[in-house]
Amino acid sequence: MTESASPTSGVQLLEVEPELAGQRIDNFLRTRLKGVPKSLIYRIVRKGEVRVNKGRIKPDYKLKTGDIVRVPPLRLAERDEPVPLAQGLLARLEAAIVYEDKALIVLNKPAGIAVHGGSGLNFGVIEAFRQLRPDTKDLELVHRLDRDTSGLLMIAKKRSMLRHLHEALRTDGIDKRYMALVRGHWATAKKQVRASLQKSNLRSGERMVEVNEDGKDALTLFKVLRRFGEFATLVEAKPITGRTHQIRVHAKHAGHCIAGDVKYGDDAFSLEIRGLGGKRLFLHAYMLTVPLPDGGELKLEAPVDEQWAKTLERLSA
């Protein structure tokens, strides 16, 4: 091999240890395959080149204790250094932290920032925090928010906290509540939407979700917070299940799509909201109640951004 050639790994067989059970396959590989570009990791998983127990798996597969992960030969990067992120972005995310201790970070994620890289994005919140906290080796997202959704996002700093919170999510032990500005007059009596959801991918690769009785059961509880005549309603949404785009699709299914939703929304309604200065998706994770490992409870609220607040002021004028 000449000096200019990039080194190549052989086939690797990786056994999943108990403390890593429950982790997504892509996150597991990013941690284990140092020097391999994230884009390459996502590609080999998507194409089925990574096998678990000799079988193909999907990118969202969650590992189990004792799983054997087969990784094909890979061309390694010569340097294992992340692309430096803009200091302005790092400072903005640092300022967005609403809670931090030795095991957990919770931030009020701004709208428009993805939670992780991939799908053409070089970085997201988790990549930024790995640069902000370089001495914390086990930083992992506890859950996800859509790129255009703002609000409370949890990042575990320790494996033990990640496992604890994943278990709490599985057993409905975490109370997450969102605010959404929706079209029209939401009836006070309409307190829940239960409709099965099914994911599909368009030719462009874009992910869409639709109500389909063959999909997975999904339940969202709704409560009216404020009305703006017959034009719009501010509602609280509490997802009981955690399906992709659940609140957005359930709001549409109820006949009250969310302002600024380019996938599932009403263009005319969103355009009117834009005219008031609301150039964003009006979905915000504003409240979070989390059980802590020591038996205590963490309850947090996150304010909306200035654009959201001013838009609602103009709506009520």
Q: pLDDT 10s per residue in the chain (317 long)?
A: 333 334 556 788 888 888 788 888 988 888 788 667 777 888 888 888 999 999 989 888 999 988 999 998 876 544 445 556 678 888 999 999 999 999 999 999 999 999 987 655 567 899 899 989 988 988 999 999 999 999 999 999 999 999 999 999 988 899 999 999 999 999 999 999 999 999 887 666 677 899 999 999 999 999 999 999 999 999 999 999 989 999 999 999 999 999 999 999 999 999 999 999 999 999 999 999 999 998 899 999 999 999 999 999 999 98
The predicted structure's pLDDT at residue 183: 97
Per the structure block, which two tokens stand in for 180? 């959404």
| CB of 145 closer than 8 Å to CB of 258 | no
pLDDT tens by residue, 201-238: 766 667 789 999 999 999 999 999 999 999 999 999 99
State the Cα–Cα distance between residues 9 and 174, nearest whole angstrom.
41
Q: Tell me which residues are annotated as active site.
A: 146
CB-neighbour burial class of residue 219 (10 A; exposed 0-12, middle 13-18, buried 19+): middle
Q: Quick check: helix, strand or coil at residue 89?
A: helix
pLDDT tens by residue, 240-252: 998 999 999 999 9
Structural domains of the chain, with CATH: 12-71 (3.10.290.10), 87-167 (3.30.2350.10), 172-316 (3.30.2350.10)
The predicted structure's pLDDT at residue 118: 64
| CB of 95 closer than 8 Å to CB of 105 | no
Per the structure block, which two tokens stand in for 212? 């389909």
pLDDT tens by residue, 87-96: 888 899 999 9
Angle of the 38-46 helix axis to the 25-32 helix axis, nearest 10: 140
Name the residue among 242, 92, 123, 259 with its Cα closest to residue 173.
242
The predicted structure's pLDDT at residue 78: 45
pTM: 0.74
The predicted structure's pLDDT at residue 119: 54
Q: Quick check: helix, strand or coil at residue 153?
A: strand
The predicted structure's pLDDT at residue 268: 96
Per the structure block, which two tokens stand in for 275? 């005219």
